[in-house]
């Protein structure tokens, strides 16, 4: 049970296996005056602090071992009348109305924090036991304690959001509204829990948090994953970064057809619509949307003609990219869209024209826009710039109110026009991730950078740690990638494991089929893992850039596990590591067979055993599928696909449906009497300690049976 305890010189927040020591509280005015509130009242479930000018209460709410800590209070003008200040100098600070600080998390050995490095993406910050080093704008913290793991998870409530920040005084959690003139605060500060299994914590806190906050949203495992993203995709951005055209898209689709690359959907990305100014990178973020109809120079016959031709000739579905702000700098006041939809628009304090911050106006504008692109043949949208709420809407409402309005309105329009099919982008801030009603996919990385070996280090860590922390709120989109650069295989493996959408972005003529085909079946369906790819136990709270150890990532399929290992050493020195399925959450078999995709070797591991290895440089990596050995038998799957254990489904004793043809591997302590494919007896050959069988026709599924 969580409770406050008054010690001789401090107040602590404690529970079994959890203790925040030496609590203090402050209230901050807009003029930056800070009021330190002595804690004058301590009960099991609340503390109260007061000075003449301010007061605050912090309350404990607990359900099933999950803590929700709630703060209420404000600045007082006349205590006898309980009136709050109403002049600008003494209103609450919009970026730090209230702070709860503690000097120590008792028993904490080390931590990993999720930090909003820029306004739209988060990065991991791996520290030691010193919580004072936790950087500003931290949204979540997982730590290893004496006997368990703990997590602190910031929130976005009805009005305020919270953030963590270390200082010389300890670790503070601060409430921010982004709106000047606020008189009071009432908000959840954070959710917290401890568990022996750190992979349970994000799920538990997200599910409980959504319910406690009264959000009209579901946790990740309750949301529907759009069918279209079960298939291989393509994006125009890196192929045509400044000038995507009707003809250019056709040229790329023709390349996919010629190379037998089964792309099933594409995104028409940035620079497709009619904008003010000229197409160049230097000015793009200062430009405005003139008309949400396609640029007539790039699409001379209109958007509908381009999409129709792609669908008719190549059978590829099309999504449309757009920022929720019209364009990066808003709407052009002289443009057709601003004039035609003026009732939905308003001017912000910077003079930019934007959609009004209400759910009704957000829905109204986006429904009009989506009606146009739907009539043109679009199947879904990718909505960008989502974490720029403060830039565009500060002082127009609180962050909680605006985030709720933005996401409710947009997702309502997406639901009406595209059956909820959306990729969220540049939207990893707490106000976004807590307020999406139905959508499940969120891009979890900064932009893909081709031909950059050092970039991959930041990329893989950003993607996998972000997916760990927020796995209860979204599925991670690891962004597009190139198949013909030096990082292509690593990027391909990472996306195979991601659990999210997979899409490429090579320029015309440069797609490499050999890199893409192991990701998907012949019909383009990707072999998607069940969850999001996350760090293994020994990498969760350890910095692979400095430990001398390999960085390992894992995920799960219906039939087993996948683990990849990478060298992320900051000086590219040789790193060591060991791989074992028994270190994974949910691995409960007595033995597993580990199949090394790149060497073609298989190893039998029993409990307590692992595979030791070294990685010499950034271009050295390992990738294993692990399948349980039952009664001396394990089906590895189609060895031409990265996720071999996702290539089949069992439907009876020794009977399987294999989703495609090709070469299949299996392990058996006892050699089978016969192997049947689609009812016909077929030969099989031994290779090292496993067997191979050719299933025949690549594009068809097959029934596989074993007779012992």
Res. 87 pLDDT band, cuts 50 70 90: low
Domain identity same for 330 and 440: yes
Closest CA to 272 of 324, 322, 308, 332: 322
Angle ∠(7,9,11) on CA atoms, nearest 5: 50
Residue (of 90, 72, 84, 73) closest to 30 by Cα position? 90
Judged against a pLDDT cut of 70, whether residue 88 lies above it is answered with: no
Residue in 469, 422, 544 with CA at minimum distance from that of residue 116: 469
Structural domain for 702, as ranges? 550-707
DSSP class of residue 347 equals E
pLDDT tens across 591-628, in order? 999 999 999 999 999 999 999 999 999 999 999 999 99
Half-sphere exposure of 521 (CA within 13 A, CB side): 21
Instruction: Check whether residue 361 and residue 409 sit in a common domain.
Output: yes
**φ/ψ of residue 683, rounded to 5:** -75, 155
Identify the pLDDT of residue 530.
96
On whether both 251 and 199 belong to a single domain, the answer is no
> What's the mean pLDDT in 359-384?
98
**Phi and psi, residue 398, nearest 5°:** -75, 160
What percent of the chain is modeled with pLDDT above 90? Answer: 92
Q: Can you spell out the DSSP letters for 25-43?
A: EEEEBTT--EEEE-EEEEE
- Residue 331 reports pLDDT greater than 60: yes
Which residues have C-beta within 8 Å of that of residue 562, sequence separation ≥ 6? 496, 497, 529, 554, 555, 556, 623, 624, 625, 626, 642, 643, 645
Are 494 and 615 members of one domain? Answer: no
Q: Is pLDDT above 70 for 81?
A: no
| Residue 46 dihedral angles phi and psi, to the nearest 5° | -155, 155
**Helix, strand, or coil here: 173?**
strand
**Residue 400 and residue 269 share a domain:** yes
Residue pLDDT, tens place only, 289-303: 999 999 999 999 999
Among 207, 230, 252, identify where a domain stops: 207
Averaged pLDDT for residues 37-66:
96
Residue 473: per-residue pLDDT: 98
CA–CA dist 592, 514 (Å, integer)? 29
* CATH number of the domain within which 566 lies: 2.60.40.1180
Domain containing residue 377: CATH number: 3.20.20.70
Are both 125 and 231 inside the same structural domain? no
Q: What is the mean pLDDT of residues 19-41?
A: 96
Residue 101 backbone phi and psi in degrees, to 5: -120, 140
Domain's final residue, options 149, 175, 207: 207
Count of structural domains, the chain? 3
Looking at the domain assignment, is residue 539 inside a domain? no
The sign of the torsion formed by the CA atoms of 425, 585, 666, 611 equals positive
Residue 480 lies in a domain: yes
What's the pLDDT at 493? 98
Rounded to 5 degrees, what angle do the CA atoms 677, 679, 685 make? 35
Mean pLDDT of 437-460: 93
- 10 Å CB burial of residue 263 (0-12, 13-18, 19+) is buried
436 close to 474: Cβ distance less than 8 angstroms: yes
Domain assignment present for residue 667? The answer is: yes
Do 508 and 613 lie in a common domain?
no
CA distance 159 to 92: 13
pLDDT band of 83, cuts 50, 70, 90? low
Are 23 and 103 found together in one domain?
A: yes
The rounded mean pLDDT for the chain is: 95
- Establish if 217 belongs to a structural domain: no
Q: How confident is the model at residue 95 (pLDDT cuts 50, 70, 90)?
A: very high
Cα atoms found within 13 Å of the Cα of residue 248, Cβ hemisphere only: 24
User: Do both 475 and 588 map to the same domain?
Assistant: no
Mean pLDDT of 529-558: 97
Note whether 181 and 273 are same-domain residues: no
Please indicate, yes or no, whether residues 203 and 228 belong to a single structural domain of this protein: no
Q: What pLDDT score does 283 carry?
A: 87
168 has a pLDDT exceeding 90: yes
Q: What is the mean pLDDT of residues 24-37?
A: 95
pLDDT digits 0-9 by tens, 671-704: 999 999 999 999 999 998 999 999 999 999 999 9
- Look at residues 181, 207, 233 and tell me which one is the last residue of a structural domain: 207
Same domain flag for 184 and 235: no
**Rounded mean pLDDT of 353-362?**
98
| Average pLDDT of the segment spanning 645-667 | 97
Give me the mean pLDDT over the 161-177 stretch: 97
Q: What is the pLDDT of residues 380-417, one digit of tens each?
A: 999 999 999 999 999 899 999 999 999 999 999 999 99
More confident residue, 291 or 449: 291
8: confidence class by pLDDT, cuts 50, 70, 90: confident
Q: Does residue 541 lie in a domain region?
A: no
């Amino acid at each position: 049970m969580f409770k406050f305890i008054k010690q001789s010189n401090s107040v602590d927040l404690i529970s079994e296996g959890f203790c925040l020591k030496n609590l203090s509280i402050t209230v901050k005015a807009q003029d930056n005056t800070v009021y330190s509130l002595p804690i004058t009242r301590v009960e099991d479930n609340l503390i109260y602090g007061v000075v003449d000018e301010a007061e605050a209460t912090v309350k404990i709410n607990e359900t099933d071992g999950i803590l929700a800590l709630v703060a209420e209070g404000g600045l007082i003008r006349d205590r006898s009348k309980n009136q709050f200040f109403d002049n600008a100098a003494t209103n609450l600070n919009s970026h730090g109305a209230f702070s709860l600080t503690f000097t120590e998390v008792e028993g904490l050995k080390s931590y990993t924090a999720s930090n909003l490095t820029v306004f739209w993406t988060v990065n991991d910050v791996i520290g030691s036991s010193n919580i004072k080093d936790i950087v500003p704008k931290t949204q979540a913290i997982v730590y290893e304690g004496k006997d368990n793991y703990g997590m602190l998870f910031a929130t976005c409530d009805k009005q305020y959001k919270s953030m963590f920040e270390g200082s010389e005084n300890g670790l503070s959690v601060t409430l921010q509204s982004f709106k000047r003139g606020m008189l009071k605060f009432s908000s959840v500060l954070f959710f917290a829990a401890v568990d022996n299994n750190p992979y349970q914590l994000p799920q538990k806190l997200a599910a409980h948090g959504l319910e406690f906050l009264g959000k009209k949203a579901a946790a990740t495992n309750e949301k529907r994953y759009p069918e279209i993203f079960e298939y291989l995709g393509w994006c125009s951005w890196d192929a045509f970064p400044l000038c995507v055209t009707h003809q250019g898209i056709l040229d790329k689709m023709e390349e996919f057809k010629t190379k037998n690359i089964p792309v099933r959907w594409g995104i028409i990305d940035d620079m497709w619509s009619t904008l003010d100014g000229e197409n160049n990178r230097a000015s793009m973020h200062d430009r405005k949307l003139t008309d949400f109809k396609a640029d007539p120079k790039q699409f001379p016959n209109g958007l509908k003609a381009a999409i129709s031709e792609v669908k008719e000739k190549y059978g590829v579905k099309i999504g449309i990219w757009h920022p929720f702000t019209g364009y990066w700098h808003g709407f052009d006041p002289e443009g057709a869209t601003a004039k035609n939809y003026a009732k939905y628009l308003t001017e912000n304090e910077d003079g930019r024209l934007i959609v009004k911050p209400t759910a009704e106006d957000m829905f109204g504008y986006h429904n009009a826009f989506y009606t146009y692109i739907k009539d043109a043949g679009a199947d879904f949208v990718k909505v960008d710039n989502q974490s720029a709420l403060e830039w565009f809407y500060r002082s127009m409402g609180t962050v909680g109110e605006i985030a709720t309005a933005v996401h409710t309105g947009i997702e309502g329009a997406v639901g009406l026009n595209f059956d909820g099919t959306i990729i969220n982008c540049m939207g990893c801030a707490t106000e976004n991730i807590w307020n999406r009603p139905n959508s499940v996919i969120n891009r979890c990385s900064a932009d893909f950078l081709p031909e950059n070996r050092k970039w991959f280090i930041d990329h893989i860590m950003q993607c996998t740690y972000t997916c760990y922390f927020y796995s209860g709120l979204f599925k991670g989109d690891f962004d597009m990638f190139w198949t013909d650069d030096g990082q292509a295989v690593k990027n391909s493996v990472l996306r195979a494991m991601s659990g999210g959408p997979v899409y490429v972005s090579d320029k015309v003529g440069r797609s490499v089929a050999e890199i893409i085909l192991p990701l998907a079946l012949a019909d383009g369906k990707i072999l998607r893992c069940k969850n999001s790819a996350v760090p293994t136990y020994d990498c969760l709270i350890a910095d692979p850039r400095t430990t001398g150890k390999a960085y390992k990532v894992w995920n799960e399929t219906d039939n087993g596990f996948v683990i990849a290992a990478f060298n992320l050493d900051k000086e590219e020195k040789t790193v060591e590591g060991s791989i074992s399925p028994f270190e994974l959450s949910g691995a409960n078999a007595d033995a597993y067979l580990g199949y090394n995709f790149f060497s073609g070797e298989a190893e039998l591991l029993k409990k307590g055993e692992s595979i030791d290895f070294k990685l010499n440089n950034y271009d050295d990596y390992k990738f294993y599928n692990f399948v349980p050995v039952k009664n001396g038998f394990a089906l590895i799957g189609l060895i031409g696909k990265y996720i071999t254990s996702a290539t089949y489904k069992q439907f009876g004793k020794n009977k399987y449906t294999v989703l495609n043809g090709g070469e299949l591997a299996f392990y058996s302590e006892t050699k089978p009497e016969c192997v049947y494919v689609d009812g016909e007896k077929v030969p099989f050959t031994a290779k090292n300690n496993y067997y191979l069988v050719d299933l025949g026709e690549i594009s068809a599924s097959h029934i596989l049976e074993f007779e012992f």
